[in-house]
Amino acid sequence: MKYIDEFRDGTLARGLARSISAEADPARTYRLMEFCGGHTHAIFRYGVQDLMPANVRFVHGPGCPVCVLPMARIDQAIAMAVEHGVTLCTYGDLMRVPASERKSLLKAKAEGADIRMIYSTQDALAIARKAPERQVVLFAIGFETTTPPTAVALKTARAEGLENFSVYCNHVLTPAALGTILNAANETSGDKAGVQLDGILGPSHVSTVIGSRSYECVPAEFGKPVVIAGFEPLDVMQSVLMLIRQINNGQAQVENQYTRAVTRDGNRKAQALMAEVFRPHETFEWRGLGFLPGSALRIAEAYAEFDAEQRFPVAPGSSREIKGCECPSVLRGVMEPTDCKLFGTVCTPENPMGACMVSSEGACAAYWSYGRFRQPAAPQPATASVDAA
């Protein structure tokens, strides 16, 4: 298939692997953070890490929108459904993420709350149209990629006069989180402990919206190179080679490997739509990163009548992770999933303790799905066969 098969070609992959091994300086370590859950899964699904020399290491960042949503925001959504009796609509991954007291949207639904899984914002609008007697709340979540569809839903609701539709907005912004990760590099302990990085694999879909220009502050402020990478295994490998070359040459600039989808300016129409409907939050909480200024979006005053937080206020709470869950540290890149004592024992996809095991883009889910936590079986001593005996 055009634009797919050629980016999964084994012969090309081996050639790229040889180039990476030839150009990676054996005297140094290359710590490259992929800032996208899609990249994490591509790396494990196609064995990209196995094609890297030992001194090229992938560090998994907070590139999963479901994972970075703090527990308190899920608690508030459940409270809206229970206390105000609204019909709460959201996406599948979010249904099973643990909230306080081991509750979840799925468990609240089982106890009688009207919580429904949808596939798009248009599904929520359709529910509101069919049941005008019900108050329908869209639990909106995601990075810049999924923000324009939420903006379209709000504009549609206003145009149609859907008085029973509103949005609980949890859209977050990638550059703010990236800056926080790089700022934390000098912290060595505590909840703000950071990780040393040499380069960044920039996100794919997010960059189609915001453009490569949005990352130009990273080389200027932090002296780290950024390469925006596509999702396929050869995209990732080529981007690694581009980062290694920059690092070896002492360069720090933004390069765009994913030129077939990303431009410097991004999608200006989508950006204008977002600017019309949303405004930056003063501060917003991220799981693992804490409260970050200007890191999320809220609904603009012109659309305030569709703001679920104003229409259905609930008491704010605090986020408390399940004891022993290291999801916050995994999201900062400080730990790998296998460093968590709960991983693969108490915490499995059937019984998740943290969002990183639930989400289809979570690092823990990637480790589990592709068996990266399993060690090769020890060779067994040779035994005589029945025939030989």
State the Cα–Cα distance between residues 288 and 273, nearest whole angstrom: 30
CA nearest neighbour of 150 among 204, 67, 91, 104: 91
Return the pLDDT at 12. 92
Residue 375 DSSP symbol: P
Q: Which helix (H) or strand (E) holds 56?
A: strand 56-60
Long-range contacts of 380-389 (CB under 8 A, 24+ apart): none
Question: What residues are paired with 165 via a beta bridge?
Answer: 136
Q: Is 182 left (phi over 0), alpha (psi -120 to 50) or beta?
A: alpha
Return the pLDDT at 245. 98
Quote the tokens at residue 27. Answer: 């005297």
Return the pLDDT at 377. 42
Return the pLDDT at 9. 85
Task: Specify the amino acid at residue 7.
Answer: F
Report all structural domains of the chain as residue ranges with CATH numbers, in order of start.
5-62+179-256 (3.40.50.11750), 66-174+268-311 (3.40.50.11740), 330-368 (no CATH)
Return the pLDDT at 44. 92
**pTM for this one?**
0.90
Q: Cα angle vertex 65, ends 70, 222, to 5°?
A: 95
Residues 75-94 have pLDDT tens digits of 999 999 999 999 999 998 89
pLDDT < 50: residue spans in the chain: 1, 375-389
Q: Using CB atoms within 10 Å of the CB of residue 386, give its burial: 0 to 12 exposed, 13 to 18 middle, 19+ buried.
A: exposed
CB count, 10 Å around CB of 366? Answer: 25
3-state secondary structure 301-314: HHHHHHEHHHHCCC
Return the pLDDT at 389. 27
For helices 147-160 and 268-277, give the axis angle rounded to 10 degrees. Answer: 60
